[in-house]
Amino acid sequence: MDIVWQSPANPPEAHDYILRNGRRHVRPYYFEFISHVKNRWAGKTIVDLFAEEFKGRPREYYVNAVKCGRIQVDGQNVHISYVVQSSQKISHFLHRHEPPVMACKISVLHKESDVITVCKPASVPVHPCGQYRKNTVVGILQAEYGLTPLFPVHRLDRLVSGLLIFARNADKADMFRQQIEAGMLQKEYIAKVIGVFPEGEQIASANVHYNAREGRSSVEVGDCSSNSSSKGKVACTKFTRISTNGIYSVVLCRPVTGRTHQIRVHLQYLGHPIANDTLYISEHVALRSTEGKGADRAAVITAVHGLPSDDFFVEVQDVKDGDGFHIDPMCTNCPNLAPKGYDGLEEGLWLHCIRYTGPDWSYECPHPDWAVLV
């Protein structure tokens, strides 16, 4: 079989998806990942670099991939002992399996010539990132609605649902950007949290530091007058309780700033984490740098009886007639549709963006149909 290598220039198409058992899968495809050697990678052998930085595959896979030319440096085959240098181009040609997402429809709420609003389902990333490229809001809207180009005005965490706004041209995107920078836009969320949230407006003003390596934020609290350096960014969120049943509370969340995981970590800081947020419901979670998985998936491992990942995640041989993809002999995920460790446990957070308001406009999203609402 002649392999056709896809790149980011290849748009998603409707036939790329398989809907099964409430999950949206992507047919595995051949893809060229391109990266450039970071300073902290320089001086490592090509095999050590991949084995230490990309732990989703065993070391033996990377050895074989280098030997057969599926991993190249500056477009050339290299020896497994080759030492990389800063800024060199690395290409990884692999059989790409994207994680499944929930097979919920992306509803178009409002459509104009230069702006579109949609209701983003939980579990779907907004744009290509990490292991996701086609299984994203941008990819699905392009494949199923023919909507392109799209410029995200704001983003929602992958596990968060709700209102998402896209500009449809660069000028409109720039207008939104200027309004955001001027502090003219306001977002509102609702969250279901643990415990009886206090009455009245509660304000969390605590710096938030995002650890990109671990995919997790933390709150920094200290003496503002001290000379100690802070890695965190100034962050503020306002909360108001809507209802409570004595066990859980539904809370209106108004972020003043927009830090990564800000609402999630501020609710944890106040002692009322989102009720099903495994990443922040406990101070102690497995690190994704050691697990070789996404931060939320590593947290799930910690939450379920402390079982190690190899025992907890059971793979299903799920290839069926008509799925229409090639089984690659080198691939560590074949013959499954999903990559190893993604068995569909993540249903999404009880955190939903309900409203986005500007100086002369306002967009809203319907209330989520959570199974249990206080």
Phi-psi region of 119 (alpha: psi -120 to 50; beta: other; left: phi over 0): beta
* List 157, 277, 328, 343, catalytic entry: 157
3-state secondary structure of 350: coil
Give residues with Cβ within 8 angstroms of 143, minimum separation 6. Answer: 11, 12, 13, 14, 16, 17, 134
Dihedral angle of Cα 79, 84, 89, 91, to the nearest 10 degrees: 40
Phi (first) and psi of residue 46, to 5 degrees: -60, -35
157 is catalytic: yes
In this structure, which amino acid lies at residue 274? I
Per-position b or e across 318-340, b if 16+ CB within 10 A of its CB: eeeeeeebeebeebbbbebbbbb
Q: For residue 100, say if its preceding peptide bond is cis, omega within 30 degrees of 0.
A: no
Distance, in Å, from the CA atom of 123 to the CA atom of 100, rounded to the nearest integer, reads 9
Q: Which residues participate in catalysis according to the annotation?
A: 157
